[in-house]
A and B are shown apart, each in its own frame.
Chain A
Amino acid sequence: DSGVTQTPKHLITATGQRVTLRCSPRSGDLSVYWYQQSLDQGLQFLIQYYNGEERAKGNILERFSAQQFPDLHSELNLSSLELGDSALYFCASSPRMGGGHDEQFFGPGTRLTVL
């Protein structure tokens, strides 16, 4: 158990819908990262927040957005869902701003299925 929690564990929805994934980082960690893992794409970095502010952006679609709240939990919002958005979404947290000696701890993931 990494100490990172994610809800829900599974989510099944229809195309065109909007969903919100939630992540609580490990106690004391200031950075939260979101990743998407699909069968054909591997693990793809989406976005990082540090202490409430967006810190780095990866291959995140415009239909997706995220935020980090004052209590440091984070939400990833996915809208106008398409079949191709079906994937495992991981949240990770780290103590500091990121970098080599700032190990990321991954949550158990949310499996999103878009029908």
Chain B
Amino acid sequence: GQNIDQPTEMTATEGAIVQINCTYQTSGFNGLFWYQQHAGEAPTFLSYNVLDGLEEKGRFSSFLSRSKGYSYLLLKELQMKDSASYLCAALNAGNMLTFGGGTRLMVKP
């Protein structure tokens, strides 16, 4: 089966750094995605990791440890517009994406 766990809510301050964790259990793991979703809008792609390690993309970085079934999304220099839900999703061998419940991030001034 598939299981994705991530915190429900987080709060951080503008300009700070925040790390959103995700643990997963999936059969035939084929990679880990992070998506950003503003309320009532479509999810937008942030990152994809299939190998262990850190992928950096501007203010956002994503890390994967396959042996631990663990990933995190790191957001630096937080801006108010980063207030959104962040969805962790694992891809299985059948190319099916299983999403976690999402982490609602609130950025405060």
Contacts and interface: CB of A to CB of B under 8 A. Distances in A.
Q: How large is the interface on B (under 10, 10 to 19, 20 to 34, 35 or more residues)?
A: 20 to 34
Nearest to A88: B40
Contacts, number: 55
Interface in A34-91: 42-45, 48, 55-56, 58, 88, 90
Given A90-B42, A90-B43, A97 B95 contact: yes
B69 interface: no
A99 B102 CA distance: 21
Interface string B85-108: 001010100111111111000000
Contacts of A42: 87, 99-102
Contacts of A44: 99
A103 B100 CA distance: 18
A43 B99 contact: yes
Contact of B45 (A99, A103, A107, A108): A103
B45 A105 contact: yes
B interface, over-half SS: loop
A113 B101 CA distance: 21
A109 to B, nearest CB: 6
Contact of B96 (A4, A58, A105): A58
A99 B32 CA distance: 11
Given A43-B43, A100-B30, 13 more contacts: A2-B44, A42-B99, A43-B99, A43-B102, A45-B96, A45-B99, A48-B96, A55-B95, A58-B96, A90-B42, A102-B95, A104-B45, A109-B42
